[in-house]
Structure 1
Amino acid sequence: MESRQLNTFITVAKLNNFTKAAAYLGYSQSAITAQIQLLEKELEVQLFERLGKSISLTTDGEKFLVYAKKILELHDEAKNTLVASDVLKGTLTIGANESLCAVRLHRLLKEFHEQNQAVEIILKMENNNKCKTLLKENQVDIAFIIGQKINASEVITELELPEPLVLLAIPGHPLTTKKRVYPEDIADNTVIVAEKGCSYRNLLEKSLDDAGVAPKSIMETGSIQAIKQLTMSGLGITLLPRVTVEEELNRKQLIELHWGGAPFNLVTQMVYHRDKWVSTVLRTFLDLAKEKLE
């Protein structure tokens, strides 16, 4: 098999369309079809289901996609290693949720880019579950995940940081007068939360469920900035990582409520798949991240 065929296969799998893949790669559609057919013949499997004009990966195709990406990564790594140059080249794909991108990663990415301007950085902002899926499917090189500690054998953790959470309200809110706020105290309030699956939303909902209480109402939004703005407008209370609201706390735009329930224990982890080829680009980023974030 040739690297050209693998690249064509990956592109078709990404676009789910031979015509679009041909336009993207600058080939004729017949050339794309021929490359895929040759690859299928060599592998002795069918990579795509063809239903009219629609195509999708077969089970064998999904399995092979992981290896195709790894092979091309090794191919690029070999080329970059053999080129007589001190300039680091390649692509780094990172998965992380919005809050981490906004408050923890922006300075790290800026410094890495300044030091390695020939490296293309692709940032995929997804929730924790999606980031784990992207790792498994080799669609990201590394992921930053905030949540419960990951002990799964298929991932390697290079960095682990405690992630304190704070329950928040506006100044003057009735709950700010309490020495301790318990789950029962939240029952008469609107709670502003992130989308379902968010680790800190899950913790808050579990605390309320364990206490047998429910908030008066729930307001959901996928944006950390929107959650902060809605809370500062007085619409309700929220639970967020402290790192995301340091500025608002310092300005007294938000007040930390003294939580008396079960502690909220979360960590931010920098992880990659155990089968991932750790290229020079990835190792350089890992080392810088540990230096700057620890």
Structure 2
Amino acid sequence: MDIRQLKTFWTLASTRNFSRTAESLNYVPSTVTMQIKALEEELGIKLLDRLGKSVVLTDAGRRFLPYANKILNDVEEARHAASQSGELTGTVVIGADETLCTYRLPALLRLFRERYPHVRLLFRPLSSHNLKQSLREGNADVVFILDEPAVSADLHTELLLDEPFLMVVSPDHPLASRSTLSIEDFHREHMLLSEKGCSYRTYFYRTLLRKGADSLTELEFNSAETIKQCAMMGLGIALLPEMAIKGEVERGELIALPWDLSEIRFATQMLWHQEKWISPSIRAFMELAGNVLKRSS
């Protein structure tokens, strides 16, 4: 096997698509197919299956991926050590959910690109329940999650920033002018919620039910920005992290309801696998992420 084959396999495992892999590596699709076939023949195992236009790793492919990743990282480290310029090179694969992609990470990614122009960033937006798995399967180097602080047996977790939540409505909503609320005020209201499986949606909904709420009508969305826009249009009550709605609340476009959410403690967190070798480029990204996001407000 050679480095090009391993890089092609690693990229294909990340994109799950032959055309995108070819475009990313400046190959024609047939070159990707040829290199994967040659790698499979040399290893004597099938690394992936094609399902329509998408690619799925086999069990053997998932087991092989961390080793391919380590070899590529070692090569990057060697190139960096031998480089006369001393400039960081290599690739960093990042994963995050939609909310953090939109409201926390753009400034970080721009600053990293300015400081380390020769490091290639691959960004993978993922649903919340797939983020930790992407680390365990070697598909991402670092992921960011918005969740309750937690400890994992195989993942390192760095808590970066506590994220308060607000319950908000449009200025013309019937509850917007209330100075106090009881659980009965939520009966038969339309709740604008994130998709099932989202940790803060699950926690919030459990809390309302525990306090006696019933007859709630749920409208489910997979985007915090969509929830915000629907709330501003008067479609219902939204629960969102303050980072997503701070400007709208300050301008009076959304009204924060007087409902105690102090028991909901969620935070922006950075995770990476305990067994992963951290290359100089990944280390630089993690250090910058810690500095930038801990200063966010």
Residue 296 of structure 2 is aligned to residue 292 of structure 1:
no
- State the partner residue of 2:244: 244
- State the partner residue of 1:104: 104
For residues 1-41 of structure 1, the C-alpha deviation after alignment (integer angstroms, 9 at most, x for no partner) is 432443354466565779x97x646639666534321122x
- State the partner residue of 1:33: 37
CA gap of 1:133–1:98, structure 2 versus 1, over 3 A, is same
Report if the CA contact (8 A) 1:16-1:56 is conserved.
no
Residue 147 of structure 2 is aligned to residue 147 of structure 1:
yes
- State the partner residue of 1:197: 197
Report if the CA contact (8 A) 2:16-2:55 is conserved.
no
CA gap of 1:12–1:234, structure 2 versus 1, over 3 A, is closer
Using the TM superposition, give the Cα deviation of residue 235 of structure 1 relative to its aligned residue in structure 2, in angstroms.
0.8
For residues 225-278 of structure 1, the C-alpha deviation after alignment (integer angstroms, 9 at most, x for no partner) is 211111011110110000110110011000111114672111110111111211
CA gap of 1:141–1:183, structure 2 versus 1, over 3 A, is farther
Q: For 1:266 and 1:147, how far apart are their aligned partners in 2?
A: 5
Structure 1 window deviating more from structure 2 (149-158 vs 206-215): it is 206-215
CA gap of 1:197–1:182, structure 2 versus 1, over 3 A, is farther
Structure 1 window deviating more from structure 2 (281-290 vs 205-214): it is 205-214
Which aligned pairs between 1:123-138 and structure 2 lie closer than 5 A?
123-138=123-138
Identity of aligned residues (%): 36
Structure 1 window deviating more from structure 2 (229-238 vs 54-63): it is 54-63
Using the TM superposition, give the Cα deviation of residue 221 of structure 1 relative to its aligned residue in structure 2, in angstroms.
1.6
Report if the CA contact (8 A) 1:8-1:35 is conserved.
no
Using the TM superposition, give the Cα deviation of residue 150 of structure 1 relative to its aligned residue in structure 2, in angstroms.
2.3
- State the partner residue of 1:91: 91
* Count of matched residue pairs: 288
Gaps of 5+ in 1: none
Report if the CA contact (8 A) 2:88-2:118 is conserved.
yes
Instruction: Find the residue that maps to 1:123 and give its secondary structure.
Output: strand
Q: Which amino acid aligns with 2:79?
A: K
Q: For 2:30 and 2:178, how far apart are their aligned partners in 1?
A: 66
Report if the CA contact (8 A) 1:192-1:220 is conserved.
yes
Instruction: Find the residue that maps to 1:174 and give its secondary structure.
Output: coil
Using the TM superposition, give the Cα deviation of residue 154 of structure 1 relative to its aligned residue in structure 2, in angstroms.
1.1
Q: For 1:244 and 1:55, how far apart are their aligned partners in 2?
A: 34
Q: For 2:102 and 2:18, how far apart are their aligned partners in 1?
A: 34
Using the TM superposition, give the Cα deviation of residue 210 of structure 1 relative to its aligned residue in structure 2, in angstroms.
1.7
CA gap of 1:251–1:11, structure 2 versus 1, over 3 A, is closer
CA gap of 1:272–1:182, structure 2 versus 1, over 3 A, is farther
Report if the CA contact (8 A) 1:183-1:207 is conserved.
no
Instruction: Find the residue that maps to 1:171 and give its secondary structure.
Output: coil
Aligned-residue RMSD, C-alpha: 2.9
Q: For 1:98 and 1:48, how far apart are their aligned partners in 2?
A: 28
CA gap of 1:184–1:71, structure 2 versus 1, over 3 A, is farther
Larger radius of gyration: 1
Instruction: Find the residue that maps to 1:268 and give its secondary structure.
Output: strand
Q: For 2:226 and 2:55, how far apart are their aligned partners in 1?
A: 38
Report if the CA contact (8 A) 1:95-1:126 is conserved.
yes
- Give the TM-score of the pair, scaled to structure 1: 0.86
For residues 55-79 of structure 1, the C-alpha deviation after alignment (integer angstroms, 9 at most, x for no partner) is 8644223211222222222222222
Report if the CA contact (8 A) 2:98-2:125 is conserved.
yes
Using the TM superposition, give the Cα deviation of residue 166 of structure 1 relative to its aligned residue in structure 2, in angstroms.
0.3
- State the partner residue of 1:223: 223
